Each structure stands twice: as structure tokens, then as C-alpha cells.
Amino acid sequence: MAMENFFNGQKEYDNDDNDNVLNRSNSSTFSKNDKNQNKNKELHNIIENLHYENKIINDFVKDLHDENKNLVSGIKDLQCGNKNLFSFIKDLNDEKKKLNDKIDKLKDNIDELEKKSSNRVLKEVFAYLLIPCIEQIKNGFDQMNKEKKGISQQYYEFRKYYNTCTLKMIKYKNKIINNEPLTLISEIIEKFSNEAKLSTDELIELLLEENKRNYNTHDFIEDYIDDFIYGECTENDLIQYIEDKSDVNIIITNNEKDLLIKLMRFNIAHRQKLIPIQSTVINYFDDSQIFNYYIDDSPFRMPIIKQYKDMDTIVMGKIEYGSCHIGDQCLIMPNRKLVKIMNIYYDNGIETDSCICGKNVRLKLKNVEEQDISSGFILCHVHQEPCSVGRIFEAQINILEHKSNIYPGYSTVLHIHTAVAKIQLKKLIRLIDVEKNKTTQENPTFITQNQVAIAIFELSQDKQVICMELFNRFPRLGQFTLQDDGRTFAVGKVLKIIN
């Protein structure tokens, strides 16, 4: 029993020990499990974190792929843009080249226009400076016809013989022997070229172009000559003077300039010879009547200097009396042609609606052709008193200089306003003393230098009439000069229009 108890006790002890061991063992196992669980948990957390980080990396890589794809697409777009840019730059360069070509062409056109404008002005200047030569030829024909009148009925018409064909024949010395008119023209050209210090060929070349020109430079060339004579300008100022007055850049060769200066010198010398005669003319007439362009209600009067075609017919002249307006109905005397003023231009090209006396103008006219008008015609207003016309007139004349006595039957050339006509002295009525205002001799046989007479004149051409006015009513249209061989030898004024 005791043994049994011992064994039982031992058994219990052993059981207790076993239980303790088991408990210890279980405790140890549980402890290990806990650690393993913790490690697993940690490992799981690490794995989860790795998965999360891998997901982030994958997302980042995906984003990188997307960005790379966008970058590749952007590079392609940029390459395409560069290609378009290069194409645009090429197109731009092509357009620039075309634009430069157009600019160069425009510059060439401007240069050509400047050259044409310069040539036009120079031709007009040359044309005006050649007037004395042509006047000498005209006067030569008048003298030749006057000398032949008592010998034969032959009459040489200036316009028939003075032409381009004649000038070329003279230049090449063809068929001028035994041809009196051509010989006369040749001799005058040779004389003029010697006086102007030009070669005959140079002068003929200038005359050959003369028919193509207009005399628009009349006023400023006259002004230059006056300024030169009175010391206000020099030869070196000539080209600049022309440029300033014409608003054109003058392009001129040295040879052209040399010809121009030589002709200008001749014209200045010619003007200086006329100064004493012009002074006598001014002193002979009452300055207040001739040179004062005061505004009044006088009828419109504009002597025509020149006419030409520019769509409509253009007439040039100076308004001596009255005024005109656009739309005015006018008469061209002496042929009484009814016209209408469409445009009015001052000599500097400025357009205006109206113009008063004393102004040089160009008028564009409707209902008339260029060939219906001649220098010396006068434009009048249709609703005012028209200009007087006549072929036989009584005048007071003052002989300034003449080598011989002048008898009835004497033929000469009349210059009255812008008209030029051949006239004949028909009768000497009396000689007068102007200062004492009394008659010194009735019905004189002749008149000579420094004498004043009342005389009757008649136009030489049959049935011809010209515009003229009585001096006491329209002084600027009633004063005149008489010329012989191109020189003024007498001045006068119209007292009465007989027929």
C-alpha cells in the first residue's frame, strides 16, 4: 500500500513532472509560434510593402512609358513642325526673293520714270531755247517773200519747207543746191550754230526733236534769264533752277549740259540786246495801263499761246482781263467757236475752280479740236462782250530804230498779244509830237527813226482777221510791236478798228 502509494505518489509526481515538462514544452512551442507568427506577420507586411512599392514602381514605369510615348510623339510632332518650319522658311525666302525682284523692278521703273520726266523737261527747255532759231528762219522766209513780191508771184510757205525731211536733207547735204528755200534754211541754221557755238549737226539734231515738245517751261526759263541778267543766279545754278521749278530730278549727260548752257548763253545774249528796246516800249506806254492787273468787272479775255491734245483739248495762256470758272461757256475768237471750260490748272499744275486776271493757266476745253485753235486766238465769255477782230486798223506807231525811211506799201510783221501776222502800211495820216500832243505834219510821204505817226495798216493775207482791241479799252491787247528781220523796230497801239 505504501509501495502503491509510493508508486502512486511517484506516478503523480511523474505525472506532475510530465505535465510540467509538457507545459514547459507547450510553453516553448507557443513562444516559438508567437515569434514565427510575428515574423510571418512582419514578412507579410514586408511583402505587402514590397507589393505596394512594386505597384508604385510599376505605375512609375507605366508613367515613364506613357511619358516616353508622349515624348516620342512630341519628337515626331517637333520633327514634323521643323519640316513645316523649314518649308515655311523656304517659302518665305522664295517670297522674299520675289519681293526683292519686284522691288528691283519697281526701282527700275522709278528710274525709268525719272529719266522720262527728266528727258521731257530737258526737251521742253531745249525747245524754248530754240525759238530764236526758228523765228530767224520764219523771218528769213518773210524777207525772201517780200523781196520776191515785186519780181514774181512766187510765195514760199514756211510750214511747207521747214520740216523733218528738210532738216535731214540739210544734215546730209542732199538736194539743197539750186533750192532757194532749203538754201535759206541751211544758211540760217549755219549762222545760228556759229553764234551759239554749236556744230551744225548738233543744232539740227535738236531741231529734229523740236516738233515733239511742249512749251510748258516758258515761264521759268524766262525767269532764269531775267535772274541771270540781274545777277541773281549763275550758270552753275541752271540745272538746280530747272529742278526746283519743274519738281523733276534732272538726269543729264555732260554733252547735253554743254549744249544746254551754250543755247542758254545765246538766249541771254539775245535778251540783253533787246533790253534797250524793251525799256523804250515800257517808257512809251503808260505803266498803270499795261502792268497793273487789278481785279475789275472787265470782260474775260485770255489770249491763247499754245494748244495741245490730252484726252480733251488744252489751251495755255495768261488771263489778261476778267476771270473764269469751271463750267463757263466761252467763245474762241475770231472763229466764234463755242466751248465749255472743264478744268482749270495753274502753270505749276495745281487745279482750281476759278482764276482771275494776271495768272498763267491751262484750261481743258470741251467741244473743240486742237486743229480748230491757233496761237493768237482769244478766249472770251459767251455772255459778255466778245473780243474785237479786224484786218484794217488805225494805229499810233513810234519808230525806235530803222536804217531807212518807211513808205506806204512797206510790209512788216505785227506782234500783238500772242498773235503774229504779216501787215502792210497802207497810209500815213500825220506825224505827231507826243510830248506836246500836237500834229507836226499832215499826210507825210514817209516816216523815219524817232518819229511818231498815225497810220493805217492792213493784214497782208487775203480775208485774214485777227483778234485785237482798242488800246484805250484793253491796253494789254491793244499794244503791239513791229519786227523786221527778227528785230523790233517800232511799237504802237491800236486806235481804231476800221474793218
Residue range of the domain that includes 155: 132-284
So what's the pLDDT on residue 408?
A: 94
Domain membership of residue 3 (yes or no) is no
22, pLDDT greater than 60: no
Domain membership of residue 470 (yes or no) is yes
Give the pLDDT mean for 387-391. Answer: 94
287, pLDDT greater than 60: no
305 in the same domain as 280: no
Domain membership of residue 81 (yes or no) is no
280 in the same domain as 136: yes
375 in the same domain as 240: no
- Tens digits of per-residue pLDDT, 55-87? 888 888 888 888 888 888 878 878 887 778 888
Q: Which helix (H) or strand (E) holds 46?
A: helix 2-129
Whole-number average pLDDT of the chain: 82
Question: Whole-model pTM?
Answer: 0.55
259 in the same domain as 226: yes
Q: Is the Cβ–Cβ distance between 447 and 396 less than 8 Å?
A: no
352 in the same domain as 420: no
At which of 347, 381, 415 does a domain end? 381
324 in the same domain as 240: no
So what's the pLDDT on residue 168?
A: 85
Give the pLDDT mean for 147-155. Answer: 64
Domain membership of residue 67 (yes or no) is no
289, pLDDT greater than 60: no
Domain membership of residue 32 (yes or no) is no
140 in the same domain as 258: yes
487, pLDDT greater than 90: no
484 in the same domain as 346: no
87/95 Cα distance (integer angstroms): 12
220 or 201, greater pLDDT: 201
Domain membership of residue 277 (yes or no) is yes
% of the chain at pLDDT higher than 90:
26
Per the omega criterion (within 30 degrees of 0), is the bond before 334 cis? yes
Between 174-183, 321-330, 348-357, the lowest mean confidence (pLDDT) is in 174-183
265 in the same domain as 154: yes
497 or 104, greater pLDDT: 497
Query: How many structural domains comprise the chain?
Result: 3
In this prediction, residue 16 has a pLDDT band, given cuts at 50, 70 and 90, of: low
At which of 350, 381, 412 does a domain end? 381
486, pLDDT greater than 50: yes
Q: Are strands 351-352 and 312-318 parallel, antiparallel or unpaired?
A: unpaired
So what's the pLDDT on residue 212?
A: 47
204 in the same domain as 153: yes
Burial class (CB in 10 A: 0-12, 13-18, 19+), 254: exposed
- Tens digits of per-residue pLDDT, 449-470? 999 999 999 999 888 899 999 9
Domain membership of residue 426 (yes or no) is yes
So what's the pLDDT on residue 215?
A: 47
315 in the same domain as 266: no
CATH of the domain at 358: 2.40.30.10
At which of 353, 381, 409 does a domain end? 381
356 in the same domain as 225: no
Q: Is the Cβ–Cβ distance between 447 and 431 less than 8 Å?
A: yes
Domain membership of residue 232 (yes or no) is yes
